[in-house]
């Protein structure tokens, strides 16, 4: 190969790397499914039931039309393998559940990934999933934002939420919200990433069997110091191995 050919080849490689082209491109980001075929059948995407894929190194997650999911991805160049995923356990209307099942089936089939700037294509036997990169959401302020509970974290397990569970850390140092069964209020301090809730008062209404466990976990966690993490419109409160995952709603 001549020196001129070597220079041209090097320039092509640099341009490809800069544009995020080809199998060695970084796959990290939040991706939204635009179209897909699984087992030779086109996915029927539904308004109001988005399908997303979040990639952070070897960790993946997202929303599968109805439930949240998470798992691990092995990668070697353009070759990938996605193992079994953990799921929340929410129930949705049948068309949404059918989309979810087909999408998760597709994830289990894919073995190749290619990124072209803000486009990601995962392919496998009779399977093709096309995603568009979702632009990052600025981190919400934990104070003054209304948060809605989306999932409960218990060790390595993630479970769905009953009812409308909320949290508001007001600028005047008061906290209020709901466990999905009972409302509560009190005061708080937030120093760095540590949240401490005090003087918690909870209404005395009884909880049904379905929401009692959630009520207990929320109130139990609020009794101890919590580590606060904000990523875009998501707020996670962790107390040891257990936690609460919220999304901003206003």
Tens of pLDDT, residue by residue over 182-217, are: 999 999 999 999 999 999 999 999 999 889 999 999
pLDDT the model gives residue 38 = 97
Q: What is the reported pTM?
A: 0.63
For the chain, which residues make up each domain, given as ranges? 26-134, 146-248
What's the confidence (pLDDT) of residue 91? 79
Q: Which residues of the chain have pLDDT under 70?
A: 1-24, 250
Check residue 7 and give its pLDDT.
Answer: 38
pLDDT of residue 14: 39
Please give the pLDDT value at position 157.
80
- Residue 250 confidence (pLDDT): 65
pLDDT score of 79 = 96
Mean pLDDT of all residues belonging to the chain: 89
Helix/strand/coil (H, E, C) string of the chain? Answer: CCHHHHHHHHHHHHHHHHHCEECCCCCCEEEEEEEEEECCEECCCCCCCCEEEEEECCEEEEEECCEEEEEEEEEECCEEEECCCEECCCCCCHHHHHHHHHHHHHHHHCCEEEEECCEEEEEECCEEEEEEEECCCCCCCCECCEEEEEEEEECCEEECCCCCEEEEECCCCEEEEEECCCEEEEEEEEECCEEEEEEEEECCCCCCHHHHHHHHHHHHHHCCCEEEEEECCEEEEEECCEEEEEEECC
Is CATH 2.40.128.270 correct for 26-134? yes
How is domain 146-248 classified at the architecture level of CATH? Beta Barrel (2.40)
pLDDT of residue 171: 97
Identical fold for domains 26-134 and 146-248, yes or no, is yes
């Amino acid at each position: 190969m001549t020196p001129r050919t070597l220079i041209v080849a090097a320039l092509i490689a640099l341009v490809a790397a800069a544009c995020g082209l080809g199998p060695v491109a970084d796959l990290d980001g939040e991706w939204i499914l635009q179209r897909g075929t699984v087992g030779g059948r086109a996915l029927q995407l539904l308004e109001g039931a988005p399908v997303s894929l979040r990639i952070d190194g070897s960790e993946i997650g997202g929303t599968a039309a109805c439930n949240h999911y998470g798992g691990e991805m092995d990668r070697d160049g353009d070759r990938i393998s996605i193992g079994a995923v953990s799921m929340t356990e929410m129930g949705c209307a049948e068309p949404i559940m059918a989309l979810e099942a087909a999408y998760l089936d597709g994830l289990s089939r894919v073995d190749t990934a290619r990124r072209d700037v803000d486009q990601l294509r995962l392919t496998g036997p009779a399977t093709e999933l096309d995603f568009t990169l979702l632009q990052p959401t600025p981190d919400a302020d934990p104070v003054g934002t209304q948060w809605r509970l989306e999932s409960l974290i218990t060790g390595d397990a993630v479970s769905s939420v009953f009812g409308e569970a909320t949290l508001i850390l007001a600028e005047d140092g008061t906290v209020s919200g709901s466990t999905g069964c009972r409302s509560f209020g009190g005061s708080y301090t937030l120093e760095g990433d540590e949240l401490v809730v005090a003087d918690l008062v909870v209404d005395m209404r009884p909880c049904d069997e379905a929401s009692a466990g959630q009520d207990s976990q929320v109130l139990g966690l609020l009794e101890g110091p919590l580590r606060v993490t904000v990523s875009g419109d998501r707020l996670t409160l962790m107390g040891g191995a257990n936690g609460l995952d919220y999304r901003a709603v206003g």
